[in-house]
């Protein structure tokens, strides 16, 4: 079971430097935002970099495109933060080992952006959606899940049966949770997962070819 974590704190930091950095950045930025106001207030989140789309004015959030990135490191409340950081802490490390830290860092960011892109498209189609404000690392985290779904379906030899079942369970639960819980951005989750599934093959490390011996 690749999702069980046995590392000490020091070993975790050494083995998974990007995941550790991402968790630290999310925690630090949450503290920064919380020290200056309410982390569940839409106006306050907007001031600190939340992702925003506005039907009829800026439906794709392109007036300030940097928000596609900054929103990935923001959370609406402590519960939101802890839920996402727990997921990142447990499920991201195996992917960092599989891709390598540099590839994994780019993969994570692109999946987070993909989640916001899908959210923007969905909220644009819903003409009465008005202003939509989104924050959270869940788009990128669902990208991690999407990568493991790719492995579960197309690279079965790389995952044990228990890990594959865990991936399916997480995704099913995630869809149900996203549909039932108010204010959860389903389309950001879908976009992140789809991005992870499609991008994984581009980022995976190819096995080294055997050298030919000449006689």
pLDDT of 193 reads 97
pLDDT of 209 reads 54
At a CB cut-off of 8 Å and minimum separation 6, what does 66 contact? 49
pLDDT of 126 reads 63
What amino acid positions are annotated as catalytic residues?
Answer: 138, 189
What is the Cα–Cα distance from 48 to 45, expressed in whole angstroms? 5
Model pLDDT for residues 103-146, shown as the tens digit of each residue: 999 999 999 999 999 999 988 776 555 788 999 999 999 999 99
Pick from 31, 142, 135: which is nearest to 74 by CA?
135
pLDDT of 123 reads 81
CA atoms within 13 A on the CB side of 187: 14
pLDDT of 97 reads 95
pLDDT of 205 reads 77
* Averages of pLDDT over each 10 residues, the chain, 215 residues: 92 97 98 96 96 88 95 96 96 96 98 96 72 94 97 93 95 90 89 97 74 42
pTM score, two decimals? 0.92
């Amino acid at each position: 079971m690749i999702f069980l974590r046995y590392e000490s704190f020091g070993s975790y930091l050494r083995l998974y430097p990007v995941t550790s950095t991402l968790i630290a950045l999310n925690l630090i930025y949450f503290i920064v935002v919380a020290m200056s106001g309410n982390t569940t207030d839409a106006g306050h989140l907007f001031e600190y970099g939340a992702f925003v789309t506005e039907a009829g004015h800026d439906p794709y959030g392109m007036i300030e495109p940097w928000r596609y990135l900054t929103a990935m490191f923001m959370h609406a409340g402590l519960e939101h933060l802890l839920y996402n950081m727990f997921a990142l802490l447990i499920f991201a490390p195996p992917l960092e080992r599989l891709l390598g830290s540099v590839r994994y860092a780019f993969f994570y960011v692109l999946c987070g952006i993909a989640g916001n892109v899908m959210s923007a498209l969905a909220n644009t189609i819903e003409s009465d959606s008005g202003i939509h404000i989104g924050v959270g690392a869940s788009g990128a985290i669902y990208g991690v899940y999407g990568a493991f779904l790719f492995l579960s379906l197309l690279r079965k030899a790389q995952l044990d049966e228990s890990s594959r079942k865990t991936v399916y369970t997480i995704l099913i639960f995630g869809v149900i949770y996203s549909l039932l819980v108010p204010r959860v951005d389903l389309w950001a989750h879908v976009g992140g997962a789809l991005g992870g599934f499609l991008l994984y093959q581009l980022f995976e490390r190819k096995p080294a070819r055997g050298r030919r011996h000449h006689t």
